A and B are shown apart, each in its own frame.
Chain A
Amino acid sequence: NAGVTQTPKFQVLKTGQSMTLQCAQDMNHEYMSWYRQDPGMGLRLIHYSVGAGITDQGEVPNGYNVSRSTTEDFPLRLLSAAPSQTSVYFCASSYSRREAFFGQGTRLTVV
């Protein structure tokens, strides 16, 4: 019973490097989203998707790209990492606008 799986759990990047945070869910949920959590800022929505092939921007999309080629996967790409992107990233999925299920998070440090 995997739920929402995020990889990696920890990552250190140098400024300017690119990387992809992986997110996969096995619940056949249509809706998936990415959040970042920073101290005192709560959970801020980066990008979301309402189904395969459909994505849209959230509150803080700059510096991030997403795509949704399958129902199960929703990767988040950092194009050119910056220290301001140091954060904890959470992926979530849901089947309705009721409860969302979150992954364990990816702690990213950009130096």
Chain B
Amino acid sequence: DQQVKQNSPSLSVQEGRISILNCDYTNSMFDYFLWYKKYPAEGPTFLISISSIKDKNEDGRFTVFLNKSAKHLSLHIVPSQPGDSAVYFCAASDGGSTLGRLYFGRGTQLTVWP
């Protein structure tokens, strides 16, 4: 059973507008969350992360929000650019589990059109 869920397989946004990618998780032991970006024919690359002791983390155009009570996190991209078109994976880790093991969602394909 998937412990990290990305229920929207795709999202299409106009350039300059906000992109919001959502992620839900079921394991209450998860205490660290990450977003990865993947272009075709490349490996995933780390984008941004957040610890469960925070509810927001910003890095330039990218902001991740965490709602622990709802077991929900979201990635906001403002403003969206065509180069942001990629698959975005949400991932989580369990503070009590094996070092470094990540649980991934199925990904959301973001398309940013001019």
Give A54 Cβ to nearest chain B Cβ, in Å.
10
Query: Complex Cα distance A48/B32, Å?
Result: 19
Query: Complex Cα distance A84/B103, Å?
Result: 22
Give the contacts of B22-78 with A (CB-CB under 8 A).
Answer: 32, 34, 36, 41-46, 49
Give the contacts of A30-76 with B (CB-CB under 8 A).
Answer: 30-31, 33, 35, 40-45, 48, 50, 56, 58
Known: A30-B99, A40-B106, A43-B89. A99 touches B34 (CB 8 A): yes
Main secondary structure of the interface of A (DSSP, over half): strand
Give A2 Cβ to nearest chain B Cβ, in Å.
13
With both beta carbons as reference points, the residue of chain A lying nearest to B4 in the complex is identified as A42
Give B42 Cβ to nearest chain A Cβ, in Å.
6
Query: Complex Cα distance A45/B43, Å?
Result: 15
Q: In the complex, are the beta carbons of A94 and B104 less than 8 A apart?
A: no
Contacts of A4 in B (CB 8 A): 43
With both beta carbons as reference points, the residue of chain B lying nearest to A102 in the complex is identified as B43
Q: In the complex, are the beta carbons of A97 and B43 less than 8 A apart?
A: no
Does A104 touch B at the CB level, under 8 Å? yes
Q: In the complex, are the beta carbons of A96 and B102 less than 8 A apart?
A: no
Query: Complex Cα distance A51/B51, Å?
Result: 25
With both beta carbons as reference points, the residue of chain B lying nearest to A99 in the complex is identified as B46
- Chain B interfacial positions (CB closer than 8 Å to A): 6, 9, 32, 34, 36, 41-46, 49, 89, 93, 95, 98-107
- Chain A interfacial positions (CB closer than 8 Å to B): 4, 30-31, 33, 35, 40-45, 48, 50, 56, 58, 90, 92, 94-105
